[in-house]
A and B are shown apart, each in its own frame.
Chain A
């Protein structure tokens, strides 16, 4: 291939960055939809915890349900089973979040590898030069890096939250929906959306070629 030498390294890097942002866009869509799917599941966790709490507050032999002596135990078992199923589903969602995080990290790594390989020819001027349609290489690398940080931190926080849950710690389970919501940093999400806006011309500019 003759192009290898003829394309200036800045163009090659831009090409890789363009691809990274395209990936970021699909990754962000996946991330967003997976988080949306988590909302009802997390709500179920809180709800089941409330049901378990109510059951533990009620003494069945003193209620109209006294004709069902094994009810307490059976209902408790069913509730814990239901909780187990929901947590399992949340774990599956966590795996999807992880794969988004990894996919983005791989894109970023590819961009940085290329940058480091050609670092000799990429001087400060080239890296910081920007045009009306294209942000500078340095800016774009930084944005990708910040997005990576966001995915990493978010994934870690959500994983820690889910792994801290124990079936017998009702107050922890009950507060799961609020704690899950509080992990949502609107600034982080907005940052990625803003980034995608800022590079939209740049990403589009290559479609025709």
Chain B
């Protein structure tokens, strides 16, 4: 198989990395969902009712303790997600590098045939860029939600924050297909 050395090897390893990073992201997302729910619960308990009024003067001792703990847990989750996106950026840039090398060696026409089954090298670059963009946007949303979640706000908005976290609006359902296509092309999944 031509895929075991050089550019093919690199793209194949990258595909496996994409798969593992996305799995880890999903795991972190589930973990974070639980924590985010805890935060909203705590917050609603502290300020019951729709209009989140400032807590009354005689607050129970240390009401913020579990809330604080949950918040720092969520900070931890988001920073792990940020490091996943950083790794995705490196993957995408290494794929651009593979394409540039190919153009440098063989000119604009590229190689004669595909490295694997049917994808031209350009397609790897496009797919990676597409996936990367989704996760970058989703990370930005998560970071925003993280900043706002523990602050006072109407109950509906809190619910929207939780929905955002849980349903990941910037990761479209077909990104899963893009990943599977990548794994299929590089031979990680049997045809």
> What A residues does B23 contact at CB under 8 A?
none
Contacting pair A64 B156 (CB below 8 A): no
**Partner-binding segment picked from B13-21, B97-105, B159-167:** B159-167
Contacting pair B144 A58 (CB below 8 A): no
A78 at the interface (CB under 8 A from B): yes
Interface 1/0 per residue, B158-186 and A, CB below 8 Å: 01101110011110010000000000000
A68 at the interface (CB under 8 A from B): yes
Contacting pair A74 B169 (CB below 8 A): yes
Main secondary structure of the interface of A (DSSP, over half): helix
> What A residues does B83 contact at CB under 8 A?
none
Question: Given contacts A58-B156, A68-B141, are A74 and B163 in contact (CB under 8 A)?
Answer: no
A79 at the interface (CB under 8 A from B): yes
Interfacial residues of chain A within 74-110, with CB under 8 A of chain B in the complex: 74-75, 77-79, 81-82
The minimal Cβ–Cβ distance linking A64 to chain B, given in whole angstroms, is 5
The minimal Cβ–Cβ distance linking A170 to chain B, given in whole angstroms, is 13
Contacting pair A71 B141 (CB below 8 A): yes
Interfacial residues of chain A within 120-145, with CB under 8 A of chain B in the complex: none
A14 to B170, CA, bound (A): 64
Q: Residues of B with Cβ closer than 8 Å to A?
A: 140-141, 144-145, 147-148, 153-157, 159-160, 162-164, 167-170, 173
Q: Residues of A with Cβ closer than 8 Å to B?
A: 50-51, 53-55, 57-58, 60, 63-65, 67-68, 71, 74-75, 77-79, 81-82
